[in-house]
């Protein structure tokens, strides 16, 4: 008889009475393994499942988070992150990105217009008014420069006349034989100096008013014009982008871009329309204010010059009173605020 081969405990497969594989030993092994692990280590639970020899599946090792006697199963799906506080650095980076993109689009639009390849939006009536305003500003600046030169020269002449009158008066006292002649010349030079100071006050008032008109009122309007021109360039840049996207194919990738471009185009169109209306309103008010200011100043300048060279001292003083011009007495300081009270 052939001798029986020694039994190997590792190869034994227990079978129940109804012919099924007995897995009680396997569950016992898993239970002992769980008990042997410390409860506080937070290790992953490991379960080893065996299958019969006739199964084509391999052994499966299932892992799960170890929480005492329970196991939490994770469900697959989209991961939703909780809202966190926005990082200021990321916000600044996003602003820089938007600014860079906008600058690129505007620069490309400007270059295209200069090369004659790009189209630009033109409001003929408004553009004509802006060109007239800029041309008038240059002419007013020239008038202002000449008036300042005249004021400087007149001041020097008045100063010379005053010194000459003092010299004649001194000689009138020291020269008995020419006392009357020196006296007449001294009175004439002092009168001319006084009338010159009156005329100088009128010219300086004219200069101050024109300077306010040119360097403040008109300059403020031109600043609005610059903002309008920037808004026009942005509007044309985003309009060109939208036109290029509309000419291209429409699919799942381009439709979101077209929708976003349409939204940006609409926003810049509203900004452009608003700036255009602002410029139109400012040009209208500027024209009314300019006519009123220059009318008064030109009348003042004419009457003062005419009265001075006509030797009409009374008319010259009346002209200054008409425009509420107060002359500063030479050598006398302005009163303090306590004296004015």
Which tens digit of pLDDT belongs to each residue from 264-304?
Answer: 889 989 999 999 999 999 999 999 999 998 999 999 999 99
Q: How far apart are CA 56 and CA 281, in angstroms?
A: 87
**pLDDT confidence of residue 161:** 92
**pLDDT confidence of residue 60:** 43
Q: Where are the domains of the chain?
A: 135-316
Helical spans, DSSP H, in the chain: 24-36, 88-114, 124-174, 179-212, 219-247, 254-309, 313-322, 337-340
**pLDDT confidence of residue 48:** 42
What is the number of other CB atoms lying within 10 angstroms of the CB of residue 287?
A: 15
Q: How far apart are CA 135 and CA 202, in angstroms?
A: 27
The domain at 135-316 falls in which architecture? Up-down Bundle (1.20)
CB 185 within 8 A of CB 175: no
Nearest Cα to Cα of residue 275 among 241, 305, 233: 233
Going by the DSSP 8-state scheme, the letter that residue 151 receives in this structure is: H
Q: How far apart are CA 195 and CA 191, in angstroms?
A: 6
The crossing angle, in degrees rounded to 10, of helices 219-247 and 124-174 is 160
Q: Which residues of the chain have pLDDT under 70?
A: 1-86, 327-341
Six-digit token string for 310: 């006509």
**pLDDT confidence of residue 8:** 42
Six-digit token string for 32: 């002992």
Q: pTM, whole model, 2 decimals? A: 0.63
CB 233 within 8 A of CB 111: no
Six-digit token string for 252: 């799942």
**pLDDT confidence of residue 57:** 43
């Amino acid at each position: 008889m052939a001798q029986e081969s020694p039994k190997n405990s590792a190869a034994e497969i227990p079978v129940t009475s109804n012919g099924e594989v007995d897995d009680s030993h396997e569950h016992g092994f898993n239970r002992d393994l769980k008990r042997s692990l410390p409860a506080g280590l937070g290790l992953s639970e490991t379960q080893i499942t065996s299958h019969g020899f006739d199964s084509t599946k391999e052994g499966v090792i299932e892992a799960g988070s170890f929480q005492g006697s329970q196991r939490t199963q994770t469900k697959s799906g989209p991961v939703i992150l909780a809202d966190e506080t926005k990082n200021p650095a990321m916000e600044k980076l996003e602003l820089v990105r938007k600014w860079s993109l906008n600058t690129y689009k505007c620069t490309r639009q400007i270059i295209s217009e200069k090369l004659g390849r790009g189209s630009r939006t033109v409001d003929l009536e408004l553009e004509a008014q802006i060109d007239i305003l800029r041309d008038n500003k240059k002419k007013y600046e020239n008038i202002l420069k000449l008036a300042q030169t005249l004021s400087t020269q007149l001041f020097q002449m008045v100063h010379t006349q005053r010194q000459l009158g003092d010299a004649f008066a001194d000689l009138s006292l020291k020269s008995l034989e020419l006392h009357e002649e020196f006296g007449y010349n001294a009175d004439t030079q002092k009168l001319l100096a006084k009338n010159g100071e009156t005329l100088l006050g009128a010219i300086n008032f004219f200069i101050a008013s024109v300077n306010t008109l040119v360097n403040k009122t008109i300059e403020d309007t031109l600043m609005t014009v610059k903002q309008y021109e920037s808004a026009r360039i942005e509007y044309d840049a985003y309009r060109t982008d939208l036109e290029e996207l509309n000419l291209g194919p429409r699919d799942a990738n381009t439709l979101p871009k077209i929708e976003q471009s349409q939204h940006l185009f609409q926003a810049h169109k509203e900004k452009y329309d608003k700036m255009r209306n602002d410029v139109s309103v400012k040009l209208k008010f500027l024209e009314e204010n300019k006519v009123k200011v220059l009318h008064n100043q030109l009348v003042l300048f004419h009457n003062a010059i005419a009265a001075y060279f006509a030797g009409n001292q009374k008319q010259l003083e009346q002209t200054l009173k008409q425009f509420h011009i107060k002359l500063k007495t030479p050598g006398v300081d302005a009163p303090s605020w306590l004296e004015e009270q």
